[in-house]
Amino acid sequence: MEIRTLPLDEAHGHILLHNVADEVGRKRVKKGVPLSEKELTFLRDLGHQQVEVAVLDADDLREDEAAQRIAAALIGTEARWRATRAVAGRINLHCDGPAVLYLDEERLRQLNALRGVTLATRAAHTPLGTALATTQAATLKVIPYALPRPIVEEAAQRAVGLLRLRPLRQQRVALLLAAEVATADKLLRQFAAPMEMRLQRYGSALAATESVAPAVAAIAEAAARLLATHDALIVAGQTSIMDIDDRPLRALRQIGVQIALHGAPVEPGNLLALGYRGDQWIMGAPGCARSPAHNVVDLVLPRLLAGEQLGAAEVAALGLGGLL
Helices (H) and strands (E) in the chain, counts: 9, 20
List of long-range contacts for 214-221, beta carbons under 8 Å, 24+ apart: 214/178, 214/179, 214/180, 214/238, 214/247, 215/178, 215/247, 216/247, 216/250, 216/251, 216/254, 217/251, 218/178, 218/251, 219/176, 219/178, 219/247, 219/248, 219/251, 219/252, 220/251, 220/252, 220/254, 220/255
Last residue of a domain, one of 106, 138, 167: 167
Check pLDDT > 90 for residue 10.
yes
Domain presence at residue 142: yes
- Average pLDDT along the chain: 97
Kindly state whether residues 11 and 35 are assigned to the same domain.
yes
Kindly state whether residues 214 and 278 are assigned to the same domain.
yes
Q: Report how far apart, in Å, the C-alpha atoms of 248 and of each of 38, 116, 128, 255 are.
A: 77, 54, 33, 11
Kindly state whether residues 64 and 160 are assigned to the same domain.
yes
Read off the pLDDT of residues 197-256 as tens digits, 9 standing for 90 and up.
999 999 999 999 999 999 999 999 999 999 999 999 999 999 999 999 999 999 999 999
Identify whether the C-beta of residue 226 lies closer than 8 Å to the C-beta of residue 210.
yes
Domain that holds residue 311: 172-319
Last residue of a domain, one of 113, 140, 167: 167
Kindly state whether residues 126 and 185 are assigned to the same domain.
no
Read off the pLDDT of residues 79-125 as tens digits, 9 standing for 90 and up.
999 999 999 999 999 999 899 999 999 999 999 999 999 999 999 99
Query: What is the model's pLDDT at position 27?
Result: 84
Q: How many other CB atoms sit within 10 Å of the CB of residue 309?
A: 15
Kindly state whether residues 283 and 261 are assigned to the same domain.
yes
CATH number for the domain spanning 80: value is 3.90.1150
pLDDT grade, residue 5 (50/70/90)?
A: very high
Estimate the share of the chain in helix, then strand, then coil, as percent rounded to the nearest 5.
35, 30, 35
What is the average pLDDT across 54-64? 97
Domain presence at residue 324: no
Kindly state whether residues 97 and 231 are assigned to the same domain.
no
Domain presence at residue 244: yes
Q: Give the count of domains, the chain.
A: 3
Kindly state whether residues 210 and 245 are assigned to the same domain.
yes
Burial 68-82 (b: 16+ CB within 10 A, else e): bbbbebbbeeeebbe
Distance (Å, rounded) from C-alpha 189 to C-alpha 211? Answer: 11
Read off the pLDDT of residues 135-188 as tens digits, 9 standing for 90 and up.
999 999 999 999 999 999 999 999 999 999 999 999 999 999 999 999 999 999
Kindly state whether residues 278 and 259 are assigned to the same domain.
yes
Of the chain, the percentage scoring pLDDT greater than 90 comes to 95
Kindly state whether residues 285 and 212 are assigned to the same domain.
yes
Last residue of a domain, one of 117, 143, 167: 167
Kindly state whether residues 304 and 177 are assigned to the same domain.
yes
Kindly state whether residues 93 and 177 are assigned to the same domain.
no
Kindly state whether residues 95 and 208 are assigned to the same domain.
no
Q: Nearest CA to 297 among 313, 274, 314?
A: 274
Pairing state between β 146-148 and 60-62:
antiparallel
